[in-house]
Amino acid sequence: NAGVMQNPRHLVRRRGQEARLRCSPMKGHSHVYWYRQLPEEGLKFMVYLQKENIIDESGMPKERFSAEFPKEGPSILRIQQVVRGDSAAYFCASSPQGAGLNYGYTFGSGTRLTVV
Amino acid sequence: ILNVEQSPQSLHVQEGDSTNFTCSFPSSNFYALHWYRWETAKSPEALFVMTLNGDEKKKGRISATLNTKEGYSYLYIKGSQPEDSATYLCALPTGNQFYFGTGTSLTVIP
């Protein structure tokens, strides 16, 4: 029973390129969350999605960042025109229902993005 | 924004020692508290979900307590082993997101 699968594990992009991070939730989980960990900081919420819907994107930077969770396939976090400040570890998590009182997250192993 | 603080930031203990660390949070509007264990190069793994004041949870040598009135939770590890070396995170759900502390990094020296 595979957990949350993220790929790639490591991604190097030059400034100005696009980064695409993929996340397949745990089987049976329809709620997906993306978090970012900047150097020396804790995990910070970015976006919460269910199939084909963005539920809450209040933690996403307004420009260059987008996320989707299509009917078929993994959730994608897309960063356009990357800058050095985007270098971070990006974690995906999933839950069977909205996480909070009774459900926590099952995390993926993260994608470490380095912008050079 | 919810301010979740963990202390100490890091901790080194000898194998066999017992240890504990703290997660502090605003006591108003408390909903639940989650503890995670995060080993290097792996993904955070859920330990406990705590909801009621006075809750005590236990898993093997690890236990946790919760005081929602004063806004803190303690995580205890009895007889630490090298495999307990990890970062321990606490998180509070609010709305659609969790607010995470920055973690306590535990190193158990054989």
Span A16-69, pLDDT tens digits: 999 999 999 999 899 999 999 988 888 999 999 998 899 999 999 999 999 999
Banded model confidence at residue B107, pLDDT cuts 50, 70, 90: very high
The CB-based long-range contact list for A49-52 (8 Å cut-off, 24+ gap) reads A49/A75
Report the alpha-carbon distance of residue A56 to residue A116 in Å, rounded. Answer: 30
Q: What is the pLDDT of residues B82-105, one digit of tens each?
A: 999 999 999 999 888 999 999 999
Which residues have a Cβ under 8 Å from the Cβ of B51 and sit 6 or more positions away?
A: A101, B31, B32, B33, B66
Q: How do beta strands B33-38 and B19-24 pair?
A: unpaired
What's the pLDDT score for residue B20? 96
What's the pLDDT score for residue B35? 97
According to DSSP, residue B97 is labeled E
Number of other residues whose CB lies within 10 A of the CB of residue A103? 19
Three-state SS for B102?
A: coil
Return the minimum-mean-pLDDT range out of A6-10, A97-101, B41-45, B68-72. A97-101
What are phi and psi for residue B84, nearest 5 degrees?
Answer: -80, -10
Find, among A112, A106, A113, the residue nearest to A5 by Cα.
Answer: A106
According to DSSP, residue A42 is labeled -
What's the pLDDT score for residue B30? 87
Of B106 and A3, more confident: B106
Type of residue at B62 = I
Count Cβ atoms within 10 A of the Cβ of residue B1 and give its class: 0-12 exposed, 13-18 middle, 19 or more buried: exposed
Q: What is the mean pLDDT of chain A?
A: 93
Three-state SS for B16?
A: coil
What's the pLDDT score for residue B29? 77
Number of other residues whose CB lies within 10 A of the CB of residue B6? 23
Q: What percent of chain B has pLDDT over 90?
A: 87
**Are A105 and B46 within 8 A, CB to CB?**
yes
| Length of chain B (residues) | 110
Chain B residues whose beta carbon lies within 8 Å of the beta carbon of residue A108 = 43
Residues A90 and A39 sit within 8 Å (Cβ to Cβ): no
What's the pLDDT score for residue B28? 86
- The mean pLDDT value for A76-89 works out to 97
What is the distance in angstroms between the Cα of A17 and the nearest Cα belonging to chain B? 26
- Structural tokens at position B105: 């990094």
- The mean pLDDT value for A94-113 works out to 87
What's the pLDDT score for residue A1? 54
Number of other residues whose CB lies within 10 A of the CB of residue A102? 12
What's the pLDDT score for residue B31? 87
Q: Is A105 on the interface with B (CB under 8 A)?
A: yes
What's the pLDDT score for residue A17? 98
Radius of gyration of chain A (CA): 13
Select from A55, A59, A99 the Cβ nearest to the Cβ of B93.
Answer: A99
Q: What percent of chain B has pLDDT over 70?
A: 100
**Are A56 and B46 within 8 A, CB to CB?**
no
Chain A to chain B Cβ contacts (< 8 Å) = 61
What's the pLDDT score for residue B2? 84
Half-sphere exposure (CA, 13 Å, Cβ side) for A38?
A: 7
- Structural tokens at position A9: 């594990």
